[in-house]
Amino acid sequence: MTKESTLEKERIVVKEFQRLLRSGKDLSTESMYEDAGKKCFLHWRTAGNVVSRHYKTVITNEMREFAAELKEIEFSVLLKQFCDKFKVCKREGRLILGYIR
């Protein structure tokens, strides 16, 4: 398998995961990994690793600092402010904050 085909598979998995994440449906994370991985014939854990790597690279120092400054407030308030500031949906904000913590 070439590096280009691997990168293309990773892009497909991330794009599909984000589509599911932002769909508004109450899907489990595992089922979203599974569905995102199906298009590329990947096991849900492998798809989960791809998604995890992607989101860990998306996190900026500004996001880390913002979360650190507001760590003393209730999580639901932090989540709302984080989503508003960084223009992400609620589930995506929760995911990113989870990686930051």
pLDDT in tens, 82-101: 999 999 999 999 999 999 98
The sign of the CA dihedral 69, 71, 77, 78 is positive
pLDDT in tens, 28-79: 999 999 999 998 999 999 999 999 999 999 999 999 999 999 888 999 999 9
Q: How confident is the model at residue 4 (pLDDT cuts 50, 70, 90)?
A: low
Please, what's the b/e burial string for 9-42 (b: 16 or more CB within 10 A of its CB; e: otherwise)? Answer: bbebbbebbbebbeeeeeeeeeebbbbbbeebeb
